[in-house]
Amino acid sequence: MSSRTDLVEDLMGRFPHIPREAVIKEDLLRGGLAFDDSALTDNEGGDVKPKSYFIFSFDHRTLPELGTAALRRPPEEIVLTGGPYGLRRTVVSVRTNPDSPYKVQAGEDGKLQLFLDGKPIADVGVPPMPDYYRHTLANGKQVMEVAPTIQWGYLVYLTVFRVCQYFGAKEECQYCDINHNWRQHKAAGRPYTGVKPVEEVLEALAIIDKYDTAKTSHAYTLTGGSVTSKVDGLEEADFYGRYAEAIEDRFPGRWIGKVVAQALPREDVQRFKDYGIQIYHPNFEVWDKRLFELYCPGKERYVGRAEWHRRILESAEVFGPRNVIPNFVAGVEMAEPYGFRSVDEAIESTTEGLEYFMSRGITPRFTTWCPEPTTPLGRTNPQGAPLEYHIRLLEAYRATMESNGLSSPPGYGPPGAGNAVFSVSSFMDTLPAETPIEE
């Protein structure tokens, strides 16, 4: 392949049943994009919604290496349309990489465009600053810091615990920079609350509820690092659950409540449900046994892969299989030095995992791996996984879902190219358009 454009067009030609939008989106998610200074935001004071760093950095450089983009944040997301590939509306989460062949800058008419290898390939829209970001909490904290929204405003992302108790090389997941991201924001003097007080979360949500008059926000996710001992004197289920309880008490049924947490024993999972959570994400991260043990040493030691999977199945008895949606990090299967050497092997392994869950009515979903530079896997794989892997995963995901008679999972907004808002992978862009089921 002589250029990235050749790679992209070759895959579009070989996989015509995968939307072209998904090919571009996956490439942007795995490898990031650069921003001309004129395409950056003016942070909280401007008209464009800035990148909130809602949990991980999702950047290909550390903050000190990002130059102007560290001082004037890029937008949270961009939306692509038109161009030579005739792209339908495609929402993409922003992962900054100054060395990417993709760059956002103003075209000849002054409007923002996405350039690939120096040629314009799409018109770029940026998210307007939401009204609720223009207000602060009584203590001066920003809504963007306490309750940022992503997926074009669909999801309120509540990382209420900004660090993980799996700490250090022997415990942290090898692709995760949650702890580093916390450190770098602190070092840069940015506001970054380690444990978000329940009252602050409620106050921020009240502001969103008041100013989101179009009711664009549909769901909230409660998440953060794993709790292996206690936080605020509470174990994991009660720590995360108390936020759901307070939110549902104050705003009953206003949003679909989701929690991303460890695969916990049944009684803890039941507590999540009792606190008002509707969707449970006990992420299985990577399917292959050897890779799980290597990449998730803390989870392997504290819980173990077999028990993790058993608990996922058990939680379907509490929430119903449609409402258990475990995530995996798409691409780490192919990371050097331990990952699969061929796309065939990686897809075969991950499809086995998809079949394992989908044949039981559980629909996993995935985020596209961003090889952040401070993680062990990011350091050894700065280019991420091959684009072909990501395209073939979309193909395998859709096929496995269809053969098991499943449809797009609840709580992700509308599926289909041109409709999807889920921004950190293109699985929703690739599924057939349909009426979403919001049970």
Q: Which residues bind ligand SF4 (CB under 6 A)?
A: 164, 166, 172-173, 176, 178, 225-226
For residues 145 and 172, which CB has a smaller minimum distance to ligand SF4 in the complex?
172
| Residue for token pair 């179009």 | 214
For residues 33 and 377, which CB has a smaller minimum distance to ligand SF4 in the complex?
377
CB of 240 to ligand SF4, least distance (A): 13
Give the Cα separation of 250 and 248 in Å (integer).
Answer: 5
For residues 176 and 277, which CB has a smaller minimum distance to ligand SF4 in the complex?
176
CB of 232 to ligand SF4, least distance (A): 17
Tokens of 160: 């209420």
CB of 55 to ligand SF4, least distance (A): 8
A 10 A CB-CB count for 332 gives 28
CB of 349 to ligand SF4, least distance (A): 19
Nearest to 134 by CA among 57, 238, 44, 73: 44
For residues 350 and 430, which CB has a smaller minimum distance to ligand SF4 in the complex?
350
List, in sequence order, every residue forming a beta bridge with 93; answer none if it has no partner: 77
CB of 224 to ligand SF4, least distance (A): 7
For residues 178 and 291, which CB has a smaller minimum distance to ligand SF4 in the complex?
178
For residues 18 and 29, which CB has a smaller minimum distance to ligand SF4 in the complex?
29
What region, left, alpha or beta, does residue 328 occupy, with left being phi > 0 and alpha being psi -120 to 50 degrees?
A: beta
Instruction: Kindly report the length of the chain.
Output: 439
Tokens of 353: 């995992």
CB of 423 to ligand SF4, least distance (A): 19
CB of 170 to ligand SF4, least distance (A): 11
For residues 223 and 400, which CB has a smaller minimum distance to ligand SF4 in the complex?
223
